[in-house]
């Protein structure tokens, strides 16, 4: 079967030729590469990839088809999909359909047959940038012009586009122990699932919820979810986080949620050259000295006062408005801040994905830490009350 010709044009003009994959059409977004060898279904349905065109470095994509269980949200979010060798046949006992059909059904424009390694090397050297894919217009110059008119990721406020419109509840598995209010900035399904496994009932709330709405759920703790966009624009969630800190309600954040906490503590954020997107990233837990292999998906990171991006982060307590804060986790590849822990208020966050999906489960213990943090709080409050 011969496929329709398609082109991919980066904003700096570099052009790749390939074939139409998924939906025929044209799409724009920020070109980023993901190095995971498994988990394309989770990646595609991860809201954090909203407005991004994902380049898969693994050459064979779609081998296991798609199934009913592995979606991380209600739909595919990627703005476009770039692969080298799409599967013609799905082979897996759980598969309910083929990936390409799913992409087409959801209108996702993709391109296949691209030298994805060349494209990845380009993005590594030049940084993430805007890109367009077209299987309807063969003229790279015309497409380039449209790419340059498309929106930038820097300064993009995307939470409102991905968040749930109405609150919903994910019940605890087995005995209910705690209630968590989760602010949905682009949450993945596996987060409430991991919490539920620890007896947590999660109330997932829209991104524009107020502190009162969060606490009205009877929450023992608050969770700030991962999500897309530039954290510098997330003033609403930042203000909300400060309310949570002020009330000393236990707080846990992941990814975008970690950047929110960073800003709430008074730190800055910055855009990484080409981000971390993969499931093999080594992160050092500074408390235990152990290394965990983790799932990442972030293009921005927290910037500490006086520490240049990439420089070694000193292992010392940083004083903030909410007391002392430590950098609890670091990426061993490039010294990026991967976790923050407040010493005087019950809050900690990680920049990476302990919920995995896709990726290794090494960091699953963080959900235990969250449960312990809540437990410690509720117990000590109980004693105070008594």
For binding to other proteins (CB under 8 A), which residues are involved? 16, 33, 35-39, 41-42, 57-60, 63-64, 67, 69-70, 84-85, 87-94, 115-118, 120-121, 124, 278-282, 284, 289-291, 293, 332-334, 356-361
- 5 burial via Cβ count (<10 Å: 0-12, 13-18, 19+): middle
- Contact in structure between 170 and 194 (CB atoms under 8 Å): no
CA distances from residue 307 to 12, 216, 300, 312 in whole angstroms, order as listed: 30, 39, 15, 8
Which one from 276, 296, 329, 353 is the annotated catalytic residue? 353
Distance of CA 371 to the CA centre of its chain: 22
> Nearer to other proteins by C-beta: 322 or 367?
367
Which one from 11, 42, 50, 255 is the annotated catalytic residue? 255
Neighbour tally for 122: CB within 10 Å: 20
CA distances from residue 118 to 17, 122, 140, 232, 324 in whole angstroms, order as listed: 12, 6, 18, 31, 45
331 noted as active-site residue = no
Q: How far is the CB of 146 from other proteins (least distance, A)?
A: 23
Pairwise CA distance, residues 342 & 320, whole Å = 9
Q: How far is the CB of 93 from other proteins (least distance, A)?
A: 6
Which one from 11, 42, 338, 355 is the annotated catalytic residue? 355
Query: Is 227 marked as a binding-site residue?
Result: yes
> Nearer to other proteins by C-beta: 243 or 364?
364
CA distances from residue 284 to 257, 290, 329 in whole angstroms, order as listed: 19, 6, 5
Query: Is 33 marked as a binding-site residue?
Result: no
> Nearer to other proteins by C-beta: 258 or 295?
295
353 noted as active-site residue = yes
**DSSP codes, 204-240:** EE-TT--HHHHHTTT-SEEEE----S-GGG-HHHHHH
Residue 159: which H helix or E strand, with range?
Answer: helix 159-162
Q: How far is the CB of 14 from other proteins (least distance, A)?
A: 10
255 noted as active-site residue = yes
Query: Is 299 marked as a binding-site residue?
Result: yes
Q: For the packed helices 256-264 and 235-246, what is the interaxial angle rounded to 10 degrees?
A: 70
Query: Is 348 marked as a binding-site residue?
Result: no
Q: How far is the CB of 269 from other proteins (least distance, A)?
A: 22
Q: How far is the CB of 189 from other proteins (least distance, A)?
A: 13
> Nearer to other proteins by C-beta: 38 or 210?
38
Query: Is 80 marked as a binding-site residue?
Result: no
Residue 224: name the closest of 368, 347, 72, 374 by CA: 347
> Nearer to other proteins by C-beta: 99 or 245?
99
**DSSP codes, 245-302:** HHTT--EEEETHHHHHHHHHTT-EEEEEEEEEEEEEEEEEETTT--EEEEEEEEEEEE
In sign, the C-alpha dihedral spanning 146, 147, 153, 159 is positive
Q: How far is the CB of 210 from other proteins (least distance, A)?
A: 36
> Nearer to other proteins by C-beta: 263 or 353?
353
Query: Is 256 marked as a binding-site residue?
Result: yes
List the structure tokens of 178.
């705690």
Query: Is 303 marked as a binding-site residue?
Result: no
Query: Is 223 marked as a binding-site residue?
Result: no
- Binding site, annotated residues for L-glutamine: 48, 227, 229, 256, 259, 297, 299-300
> Annotated catalytic sites, by residue?
255, 353, 355
Binding residues: 48, 227, 229, 256, 259, 297, 299-300
């Amino acid at each position: 079967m011969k496929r329709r010709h398609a082109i991919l044009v980066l904003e700096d003009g570099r052009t790749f030729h390939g074939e139409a994959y998924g939906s025929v059409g044209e799409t724009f977004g920020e070109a980023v590469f993901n190095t995971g060898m498994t988990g394309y279904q989770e990646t595609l349905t991860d809201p954090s990839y909203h407005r991004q065109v994902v380049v898969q470095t693994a050459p064979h994509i779609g081998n296991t088809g798609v199934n009913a269980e592995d979606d991380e949200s209600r739909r595919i979010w990627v703005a476009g999909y770039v692969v080298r060798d799409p599967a013609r046949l799905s082979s897996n006992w759980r598969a309910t359909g083929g990936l390409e059909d799913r992409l087409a059904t959801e209108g996702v424009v993709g391109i296949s047959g691209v030298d994805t390694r060349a494209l990845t090397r380009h993005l590594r050297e030049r940084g993430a940038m805007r890109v367009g894919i077209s299987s309807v217009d063969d003229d790279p110059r015309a497409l380039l012009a449209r790419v340059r008119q498309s929106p930038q990721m820097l300064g993009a406020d995307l939470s409102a586009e991905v968040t749930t419109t109405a609150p919903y509840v994910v019940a605890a598995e087995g005995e209910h122990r705690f209630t968590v209010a989760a602010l949905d900035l682009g949450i993945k399904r596996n987060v409430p699932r991991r919490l539920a496994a620890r007896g947590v009932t999660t109330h997932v709330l829209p991104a524009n919820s107020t502190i009162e709405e969060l606490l009205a759920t009877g929450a023992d703790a608050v969770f700030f979810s991962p999500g897309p966009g530039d954290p510098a624009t997330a003033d609403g969630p930042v203000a909300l986080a400060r309310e949570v800190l002020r009330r000393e309600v236990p707080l846990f954040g992941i990814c975008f949620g970690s950047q929110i906490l960073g800003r709430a503590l008074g730190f800055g954020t910055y855009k990484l050259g080409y981000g971390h997107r993969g499931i093999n990233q080594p992160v050092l837990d500074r408390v235990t000295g152990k290394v965990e292999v983790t799932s990442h998906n972030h293009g921005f990171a927290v910037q500490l006062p006086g520490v240049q991006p990439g420089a070694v982060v000193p292992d010392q307590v940083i004083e903030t408005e909410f007391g002392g804060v430590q950098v609890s986790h670091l990426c061993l590849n490039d010294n990026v801040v991967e976790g923050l822990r407040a010493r005087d208020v019950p809050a900690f966050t990680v920049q990476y994905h302990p919920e995995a999906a896709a990726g290794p489960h090494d960091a699953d213990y963080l959900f235990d830490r969250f449960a312990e943090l809540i437990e410690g709080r509720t117990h000590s409050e109980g004693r105070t009350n008594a």
